[in-house]
Amino acid sequence: MSRIFTDPVASVYPLYVAKLERKGRTQAELDEVITWLTGFDRATLQHHLDAGTTFADFFAAATLNPNASAITGSVCGVKVQDVENPLMQKIRYLDKLVDELAKGRPMEKVLRG
């Protein structure tokens, strides 16, 4: 089991925010991406952040977007579509969406619209 599974989402969230803000994106855009992927509304997302929910519990409670399988490409040299562990794949989906935002990709393309 990977250590990230037991890490709170709230421990990584500020790192995502900082990365995106350095690239001219906003926390609201990050929240939009997370809510699209997980099916959570903003209040539920905030609840998970405040509660210190682990990645395992966060994604267990989520209803993954049906278009999530359209997320492809590499994160840290690993193709997200080839990740075998379902939880790790969901975490990599989130990482990939954050990377695409940071690279300036338009939101409608990030959200596979």
pLDDT in the model for residue 1: 63
Q: Domains for the chain: give ranges and CATH numbers.
A: 3-104 (1.10.8.290)
**CA–CA separation, 22 and 26 (whole Å):** 9
pLDDT in the model for residue 113: 77
Confidence of residue 111 (pLDDT cuts 50, 70, 90): very high
- Helix or strand holding residue 78 (H, E): strand 78-79
Amino acid at 67: N
pLDDT (tens digit per residue) in 40-70: 999 999 999 999 999 999 999 999 999 999 9
Question: Exposed, middle or buried by CB within 10 Å (0-12, 13-18, 19+), for 57?
Answer: middle
Amino acid at 31: D
The count of C-alpha atoms lying within 13 angstroms of the C-alpha of 61, restricted to the half-sphere facing its C-beta, is 14
Q: What is the mean pLDDT of residues 76-102?
A: 95
pLDDT (tens digit per residue) in 8-50: 999 999 999 999 999 999 999 999 999 999 999 999 999 999 9
pLDDT in the model for residue 76: 86
Amino acid at 58: F
